Structure 1
Amino acid sequence: MTNAMWTHGVEWLTAATPDPRAGERAWLPGDGTVLMEAGRHWDLVSVPRQLGLLTLDILWYDPARTPGPTLVDSAAHRVGFLVPPDPAGDWSGEGVRHASRGAWVAVPPPHRTARSLEWIVPPDACTALHPPVTLRLALREAYETLAVLAPVC
């Protein structure tokens, strides 16, 4: 990631904090994370890692669109997709969690891993959030694929 991309990514992310300068300072030393309130500039849809990685693969199939900012938490075995704020969003499905207004999300800096958190698709000034309809369709396709691959006992 270039220095300009890092700067734009930091500015984009910290705009979601009550004190953007404090957010920037928290990322400077070591491998810190910043707690950001969901629902201000984005919501987070978090899914189990296998489902999330397959969903991201499906999203990459569209050559006209780069997937939106996407996090992976290797300790929790989850993948998080940033979507536009939607407090009434219907994000249902096995293992799906929706963080919106009132929820706080630990966010790593856009340029390096912070403990078990890292960006698979880092944000920058040009980054669009995941369109909810597109993400729902990709999640459905990933669910169906995993159901076919699941062993029958």
Structure 2
Amino acid sequence: MWVRGVEWLAAAAADPRACTGDWDHGKGIALLEAGRLWDVLSVPDRLGLLTLDLLWRPGMSVPGPTLIDTAAGRVGFFLPPDPSAGWKGADLRYATKGAWVAVPPPYRPARFLEWLVPPDGTGTLHSPGALAGALRQADGALAVLAPLCGR
């Protein structure tokens, strides 16, 4: 399965062959341009992990590719490209055309980057509507829990 994921993800590179070479023989990370095949919404890790949990429920389809950066404390959700997307909120970052995203290969972590849901090669991405709903629900839950957790 990961072979199709590698091909799909590398297709976002200017030179897909060089991209896969970087993954296999280089630093294990490739810089890929957002905005052509996908965009990425990056959120703080606590919010992102809870959101992913809400999206990944029994009976629901597997969510789209999701990446965690443990050094930066961020979770990135891969969405259909939409340069006019109105993602707003505290500490949300939206990468679209002109932005570059560091990604490891779908088959292993590299440094601080790891796939929570690797691309499967089908082109499946997160649904913006479902992601927005899960983010609102997760944000509400974290707001309720914050006083209990001393934050």
String of CA shifts for 1:26-58, please: whole Å, max 9, x gaps.
111265100000001000000000000000000
What does residue 40 of structure 1 align with?
A: 36
Unaligned runs of 5+ in 2: none
Q: In the TM superposition, what is the alpha-carbon distance from 1:7 to its structure 2 partner?
A: 1.1
CA RMSD of aligned residues (A): 1.4
Q: 1:143 to 1:63 in 2, by over 3 A?
A: same
Q: Which runs of 5+ in 1 are unaligned?
A: none
**Residues 66-105 of structure 1 mapped to structure 2, 5 A cutoff:** 66-105=62-101
Deviation at 1:14?
0.6
- How much has 1:6 moved relative to structure 2? 1.9
Does the Cα contact within 8 Å between 1:69 and 1:123 map onto a contact in 2? yes
Is 1:56 the counterpart of 2:84? The answer is: no
SS of residue paired to 2:62: coil
Work out the CA distance in 2 between the residues paired with 1:14 and 1:58.
Answer: 28
Equivalent residue of 2:25, what SS?
coil
Closer/same/farther in 2, CA of residues 75 and 12 from structure 1, 3 Å limit: same
- What amino acid is aligned across from residue 44 of structure 1 in structure 2? V
Q: TM-score, normalised by structure 2?
A: 0.94
Counterpart in 1 of 2:126? 130
CA deviation after TM superposition for structure 1 residue 18, in Å: 1.0
Report 1:137-152 matches (<5 A).
137-151=133-147
For the 8 Å contact 1:9–1:123, the answer to whether it is kept is yes
User: Are 1:28 and 2:24 an aligned pair?
Assistant: yes
Aligned residues: 149
Q: What is the TM-score normalised by the length of structure 1?
A: 0.93
Q: Compare 118-127 and 51-60 and name the one that shifted more.
A: 118-127
Corresponding residue SS for 2:144: helix
Secondary structure at the counterpart of residue 150 of structure 1: helix
Give % identity: 59
Residue 108 of structure 2 corresponds to residue 117 of structure 1: no
